[in-house]
Amino acid sequence: MLLKRMLIGVLSISIAAPTVFAQSAPASNQKKPNVVFILADNVGYGDLGSYGGGELRGAPTPRSDELAKSGLRLTQYLVEPACTPSRAALMTGQYSIRNGLSLVAEPGTPNTLSSKAHTMGQLFKGAGYATAIFGKWHLGGAPQSLPGAHGFDQYYGIPPDTSWDSAAYVQMGIQTHSFGNVPDKVLYEKGPWINQQKGNGPLERVKPYTMAVRAEIDNELTDKSIAFMKEQNAAGKPFFLYLPFSMGHSPNLPSKQFAGKSRIGQYGDKMMEGDHHVGQVMDALKEMNIEDNTILVFASDNGGTGQYFMNWDRLGLGAPDMGSNGPFRGDLGEPTEGAVRTFCIIRWPGHIAPGSTSYAMFSIMDFMPTFASILGVKLPTDRAIDGVNQIDVIKGKSATGNRESLLTFIGPDLVAGRWKQWRYYFKDMARTGTGQQMVGGIYANAAPMYYPKFYNIEMDPHEDLQMTNYGWTAEPIFKVIQEYLASVKKYPNPPPSNVTNFSQPLGR
């Protein structure tokens, strides 16, 4: 009866997640380490060679495989279901719903990062670091949401409220005559542009963001990243570089250097190109003789996209922009294991054993308190922090770490959860449409249920067998939920992301 009473309460709740308040570690007397965080976009668990893909997938990834051999490979690294939510969680150390960003940010909607958010940029800036982001922000385009308002000295990238596919917006508008007889030149003038920002200054337009620019953008971002590192190193200043480049996100338009290099089409080409750029960063650190004092992270924000992204196949040859989620079920946009479990490699010479692996549950939110611990600084105490300090996992001192649960939200709803090896669903994710137009992932519908579904994802990673006789496992996850609800009373969330229910408040 206890479980039933808790269940009824949970299904009527639209927001839930565990509360953890981060603690800082004593400051070190050693030289502050540089931090480079390279974030791939929708690259699945099974795409890189070090995770069972690479050559097997028709797209070798030798440089990232080299990185894995020199550092730590996380095998239970968990993110949020889509781009904006994961990036919000990474930057703030909080569930995305804490900042009203539990759906993909879209231009024209009020879903945008609050001025009250405390981000990783501010964390490093406050510790005396030079900070920069080159690539995709995707946390909103309002002035209070821009990288410069959250601690970044430099920003260069695509529009801060869009993703990589916005390069096609104008071309699509022209193709469909959506804007009548408006000249192409005017459409490109009003369409998405590459932007830059210096400090908290105004957002400056650099050039139209076209499909041609999309194909070569990662070359630009990598070059600017290396130049930034060299400049700060020459000045003797520690730096935090955030490089969220386009590897893996549709449309995967490879640069001229990598077009046709893989055996699986444009997705594989872009995988090989991104791997090359990771190698360029590694080589630059070695050239500057600072790799031993640099924490280098290479991770993905989400699992891979499914076959529903075949519409980005440029040649019509049936080569979809589709990643591999390894043994796990689901596509980007769903709360399934394949959507929220992906790769993460961390190298820190002298602190992380080369060629090591960890099965500890590690969330994308955990980087914020872990970096705070390394820097010896405190996180804000006027809000809940959902990330936990995982320094002992990184250094190989703990096999299990400080996390054993995680919850997953889509929009206003708690849809799934994890406790140890158990995966729970509180909403039933179903594909929409019929025939060839039946799509899942980010387009899937969530139907309410009266009792959760649950799976043992170690015994059954593809989630084919519902464990109906293991109902007792629900009690621990409900305990986590109740702990979160207590924190929400103390730290209320803003209105959650919403772009379809107009009887409810939109944004903040």
Based on the residue annotation, tell me whether 344 is a catalytic residue of this protein.
Answer: no
Q: Which two tokens stand for residue 227?
A: 């130049």
Among the listed residues 118, 138, 150, 249, the single catalytic one is: 138
Among the listed residues 83, 150, 249, 344, the single catalytic one is: 83
Based on the residue annotation, tell me whether 138 is a catalytic residue of this protein.
Answer: yes
With left for phi above 0 and alpha for psi between -120 and 50, is residue 411 left, alpha or beta?
A: left
What phi and psi values does residue 259 have, to the nearest 5 degrees? Answer: -60, 125
Q: Are 304 and 332 in contact (CB under 8 A)?
A: yes
List the 405-410 sheet strands across, edge first: 405-410, 413-419, 422-430, 445-456
Q: Please give the Cα distance from 455 to 470 (Å, whole number).
A: 9
- Count Cβ atoms within 10 A of the Cβ of residue 31 and give its class: 0-12 exposed, 13-18 middle, 19 or more buried: exposed
Q: What is the DSSP annotation of 242-307?
A: EE---TTPSS----TTTTT-SSS-HHHHHHHHHHHHHHHHHHHHHHTT-GGGEEEEEEESS----G
Q: Measured between alpha carbons, how far is residue 323 from residues 37, 140, 248, 278, 336 in Å?
A: 21, 26, 7, 18, 15
Q: Please give the Cα distance from 133 to 241 (Å, whole number).
A: 6
For the chain, percent helix, then strand, then coil, each to nearest 5?
Answer: 35, 20, 45
Residues taking part in catalysis: 83, 138
